[in-house]
Amino acid sequence: MTKNFLSLAFSAVGVFAQSYDIDSAHSGASFTVKHMMVTNVSGRFSNVQGKVSFDEKNMAKSSIEATVDVATINTNEPKRDGHLKSPDFFDVAKYPTMTFKSSKVYKADGKILVDGMLSLHGVSKPVTLTLEELSPEVMPAPGKIVRGAVAKTKISRKEFGLVWNKTIETGGVVVGDEIAITLEIEATRKPA
C-alpha cells in the first residue's frame, strides 16, 4: 500500500509546479576572475537563501528568487577578503546582499535558461543563467524531498560599479572584468 502511494506521489511530480526552499547549509555561489592576466582566482559565498518553483511540463510556471550574503565571501586569503568587503569592491557595509529574481524560465537549444535581474552593489542588470545540472528529486529521510541544480552565467563587474583596479608594469590590469558565476543549489520541497 505504502509503495503504491509513493509511486503515485512521484508520478505526479512534474504535473504542476513544485515549490522548494533553498537549503542554505547545502548551497552556495562561487565566482572566478582573472588575476594579473595570468591565472584565475576563485571565491565563494555562503548563506544563500530563497525559493524555487519548478514545473518540468511548463517551464513558464517556474521561477527562482535567491539572496546571497556578500559578507560571507571567502577566497582563502583573509587580507584579500577584507579588501573585497571594502568600499573598493563590494562595500558590504552599504550593500550587504546580492539578489537574483527570475523573469522567465524556458528551454532553448536543449538547455534550460533562466532570465532575471541580478542586483549587486546597488546596481540591477538583466542576466541569463544556464542550468547545467538538474538532479531528480530524492528522499533522504521520510517526508523530506530534495533536488539540486547548478546554474552558470558571466557578468562584467564594471557594469555593476565594481571598477577598482591597478595597472601592472608589463601591461594589463590586476583584476579582470569578466566574472564567471556558478550557483549550486540544494532545495527542499515544501509540503503540498
Where in the chain are the domains? 14-189
Whole-number pLDDT of residue 172: 63
Single out the residue of 107, 149, 110, 109 nearest to residue 132, CA to CA. Answer: 149
Neighbours of 134 (CB within 10 A): 14
pLDDT band of 7, cuts 50, 70, 90: very low
The mean pLDDT value of the chain amounts to: 86
d(CA 30, CA 42): 7
pLDDT tops 70 at residue 17: yes
pLDDT tops 80 at residue 183: yes
Mean pLDDT of 103-125: 95
pLDDT tops 90 at residue 150: yes
Phi, psi of 7, deg, nearest 5: -60, -45
Q: What number of CA atoms fall less than 13 Å from residue 30's CA on the CB side?
A: 14
Give the CA distances from residue 76 to residues 87, 137, 165, in Å, rounded to whole numbers and listed in that order.
20, 33, 20
Whole-number pLDDT of residue 55: 93
**Tens-digit pLDDT profile for residues 126-142:** 999 999 999 999 998 88
What distance separates the 2 farthest-apart alpha carbons in the chain?
Answer: 73
Mean pLDDT of 116-131: 96
Residue with cell 541544480: 149
CA angle, residues 167, 170, 176, in degrees to nearest 5: 45
CATH fold for domain 14-189 = Lipocalin (2.40.128)
Give the CA distances from residue 73 to residues 79, 95, 96, 149, in Å, rounded to whole numbers and listed in that order.
12, 13, 11, 21
**pTM score:** 0.84
Sign for the CA dihedral angle at 81, 87, 90, 92 comes to positive
pLDDT tops 90 at residue 48: yes
Whole-number pLDDT of residue 192: 72
Whole-number pLDDT of residue 33: 84
Whole-number pLDDT of residue 5: 35
pLDDT tops 60 at residue 4: no
d(CA 189, CA 192): 9
Single out the residue of 24, 131, 126 nearest to residue 68, CA to CA. Answer: 24
Neighbours of 161 (CB within 10 A): 14
Mean pLDDT of 79-94: 93
pLDDT tops 70 at residue 73: yes
Neighbours of 113 (CB within 10 A): 17
Mean pLDDT of 172-180: 77
Whole-number pLDDT of residue 37: 61
d(CA 146, CA 139): 6
